[in-house]
């Protein structure tokens, strides 16, 4: 049974998998995990691309590490469109996103997030990826080729599909990339 979750337009930036899992329990959204203090160039590229489109919400823990990650992101992408970078803050110091109540997370994101008025029509489906040969055996090369060309970062097919739909990339564009190898 699929829950009818509200969909947030911005990419949400969190520290780790548990933070991402907690937010995905409450909203349909695209999430980028920093994996800690160090931000890879791949992560920065995804964030820059997101800022060019729907924007980002930085939602890190309210501890020293979370604040350092937030500052590092701003330092590396800060010259870009500032009104497309939003900050989600937990109430108390040293509070972790993953341990926060569902109510608190919901209030914070409802206050600063931008939501689709109706369920966003996803332009691509898993079936499209199968038809294009991006899933299954011998598909890793094609997937990596698409991810590199579109600056989507690495990840599995589920992550690729999520990012293709987030950035509203059409099937025709993917076909051109595959044909041009």
- Residues (pLDDT < 50) of the chain are 1
Identify whether the C-beta of residue 48 lies closer than 8 Å to the C-beta of residue 124: no
Identify whether the C-beta of residue 171 lies closer than 8 Å to the C-beta of residue 128: yes
Q: What is the pLDDT of residue 95?
A: 82
Identify whether the C-beta of residue 7 lies closer than 8 Å to the C-beta of residue 116: yes
Question: How open is the CA angle 157-158-161, to the nearest 5 degrees?
Answer: 80
Tell me: the pLDDT tens digits for 77-127? 876 677 889 999 888 776 899 999 999 999 999 999 998 876 555 688 889
Query: Mind giving me the DSSP string for 39-83?
Result: --HHHHHHHHHHHHTT-EEE---SSHHHHHHHHHHHHHHTTS-GG
**Residue 121, token pair as written in the block:** 């029509």
- Nearest-angstrom CA–CA distance, 2 and 161: 18
Domain residue spans in the chain?
7-112, 126-180
Share of the chain above pLDDT 70, in %: 92
Q: Does domain 7-112 have CATH number 3.40.50.2000?
A: no
Cβ contacts of 181 within 8 Å, gap of 6 or more: 145
């Amino acid at each position: 049974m699929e829950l009818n979750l509200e969909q947030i337009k911005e990419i949400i930036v969190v520290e780790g998998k548990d933070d991402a899992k907690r937010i995905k329990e409450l909203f349909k959204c695209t999430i980028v995990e920093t994996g800690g203090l160090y931000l890879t160039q791949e992560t920065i590229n995804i964030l820059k691309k997101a800022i060019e489109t729907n924007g980002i919400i930085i939602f890190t823990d309210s501890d020293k590490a979370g604040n350092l990650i937030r500052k590092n992101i701003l330092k590396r992408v800060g010259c870009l469109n500032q009104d497309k970078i939003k900050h989600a803050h937990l109430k108390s110091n040293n509070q972790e996103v993953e341990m926060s109540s569902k109510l608190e997370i919901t209030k914070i994101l409802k206050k600063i997030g931008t939501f689709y008025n109706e369920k966003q029509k996803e332009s691509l489906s898993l079936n499209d990826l199968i038809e294009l040969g991006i899933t299954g055996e011998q598909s890793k090369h094609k997937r990596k080729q698409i991810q590199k060309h579109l600056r989507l970062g690495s990840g599995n097919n589920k992550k690729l599909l999520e990012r293709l739909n987030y950035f509203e990339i059409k099937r025709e564009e993917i076909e051109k990339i595959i044909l041009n190898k």
